[in-house]
Structure 1
């Protein structure tokens, strides 16, 4: 979930995203003359020497070229980022009494682990940006060097990790939420939205991956989960007023930008009545994880031949 942006109407809903967001030669035969007899030793003239057979050199063995070994290309490394973590809970879901019963950071981690498992089964390598309930910058370091320690430093730490590991693709999973300013019920506000950055050298790949993710999830919700989810589309990250930190170019807040194509996916709203239920349904989460893996496969299947490396 992003930092909330004030919105007063459903039609002007802005999705909340907190992330502003590898040879032997043959011996020569020689005739040996017989041992001389006593008569030969006393003869005036020595006998004519016995002719030696001509030596025929064995042909030199032709050098055998070592077989060319074509290295097996490594499977793509997919960085799976579970949004939020630790003290940053992200979006909240409340029960009928208005008490928080679960939140975004636990659901995104559960979903990210399921995505990892499916991808590994299909031969991909996976980097879990976080694999527990913590922030990447739990020690509160000024990772971006701007003199302030805040959410941007945690996001910079995530970017530094995926860059250092040489990830080929970044999938950041978040969940959405919506609350009316008046506090009125917003349980009918839901939908799926996928963000990408259009201002990177690999923007075309960003857009293609975003489309793969969005289409796979949309189909899964409607055909497998039986939920006619609202389609909020594939959007550029600046639709929120500025680049999402994980996806955008370098800024004074993110001094080392991500170096691979990526998207930020928000598949549902925790605050939506039906979508909130799906977020806690193990079968639904497994189905969504499979859809994410399908999207990754579709992305690499559509990559140019000189850059494609399917497992």
Structure 2
């Protein structure tokens, strides 16, 4: 193994066939023991260079253009998400600690795959897609957060390993497909864990700011915008555009900016305290 830093084997174990893999896998966990090796004296690897910069957050305003999204009494979802994305960008940039990019900054349609690719191409540290929920019961209100489900994770692996150059696209060694598949699985699992951690932090801040949440506020799904295996991602349903109170919050500039400030505070805590334990009332591990 060629390592950028000194390390020792902390543990090693065998994984039996499962999760779509038909063979046994030998796993080695390495523990860092020293400073960077001499090989790192030259130009640092690309990933290390990226980590020296301010974290990059990509904000995705859901829908747009020919896709209006859900319809409220006074507004369309595509307009609400774009306004919220601009507010969130401004709130994050005021901290001076992050770089921010929008997947769209006007009323245009961007396909789901392109939204994810924008984040991956830019080396994003976090991807957040903003949406407004809808329901047949106008009394239903509250925010919720989606992260990638196990079924969605399997779909992502199938999609990203479909082409001939998938190892290069995912910046894997490319010498052994079996090893690369293991590395992809590990990368995706770490990404899912970080996504879930951010979801919990974000919901804690929304709840602390007295923003109403659905009873089951942390959900999982195989949504297209959550499929990147190497970028932590969540989809935030900011509220129900079909509920009068939620629609008022999403269309009132002052109320919407307050909501986005809470989201920005959640993002800031996630990066400043990545291991902070949080608990959200009504949270569940699974969903649909």
TM-score, length-scaled by structure 1 = 0.57
Contact 2:144 2:214 survives alignment (8 Å)? no
More helix by share: 2
Once residues 164 and 172 of structure 1 are traced to their aligned partners in structure 2, the CA distance between those partners, rounded to angstroms, is: 17
Equivalent position to 2:117, from 140, 146, 160: 160
Structure 1's consecutive aligned runs of 4 or more residues displaced over 4 angstroms after TM superposition are none
Once residues 258 and 134 of structure 1 are traced to their aligned partners in structure 2, the CA distance between those partners, rounded to angstroms, is: 26
Once residues 219 and 270 of structure 1 are traced to their aligned partners in structure 2, the CA distance between those partners, rounded to angstroms, is: 22
Contact 2:70 2:134 survives alignment (8 Å)? yes
- Residue aligning to 1:298: 269
- Residue aligning to 1:125: 99
Equivalences for residues 46-85 of structure 1 within 5 A: 73-85=52-64
- Residue aligning to 1:150: none
Shift of 1:110: 0.4
- Residue aligning to 2:67: 88
Q: Give 3-state SS (helix, strand or coil) of 1:90's partner.
A: coil
Shift of 1:116: 0.3
Shift of 1:218: 2.2
Equivalences for residues 205-216 of structure 1 within 5 A: 205-216=194-205
CA RMSD of aligned residues (A): 1.8
CA distances 1:127-164 after superposition (whole Å, capped 9, x unpaired) = 1111110012xxxxxxxxxxxxxxxxx10111111111
Contact 1:159 1:258 survives alignment (8 Å)? no
Once residues 177 and 206 of structure 1 are traced to their aligned partners in structure 2, the CA distance between those partners, rounded to angstroms, is: 24
- Residue aligning to 1:49: none
Q: Which structure 2 residue ranges, 5 or more long, are not aligned?
A: 1-48, 154-187, 276-288
- Residue aligning to 1:235: 219
Shift of 1:303: 2.5
Once residues 258 and 158 of structure 1 are traced to their aligned partners in structure 2, the CA distance between those partners, rounded to angstroms, is: 14
Contact 1:192 1:231 survives alignment (8 Å)? no
Equivalent position to 1:265, from 236, 239, 249: 236
Aligned length: 187
Q: Which structure 1 residue ranges, 5 or more long, are not aligned?
A: 1-70, 95-100, 137-153, 180-185, 223-227, 238-242, 249-256, 305-311
Contact 2:133 2:240 survives alignment (8 Å)? yes
Once residues 80 and 125 of structure 1 are traced to their aligned partners in structure 2, the CA distance between those partners, rounded to angstroms, is: 11
Once residues 258 and 86 of structure 1 are traced to their aligned partners in structure 2, the CA distance between those partners, rounded to angstroms, is: 27
Once residues 77 and 189 of structure 1 are traced to their aligned partners in structure 2, the CA distance between those partners, rounded to angstroms, is: 34
Shift of 1:165: 1.0
TM-score, length-scaled by structure 2 = 0.61
- Residue aligning to 1:284: 255
Equivalences for residues 148-227 of structure 1 within 5 A: 154-179=111-136, 186-198=137-149, 199=153, 200-201=188-189, 202-222=191-211
1:109 lines up with 2:109 in the alignment:
no
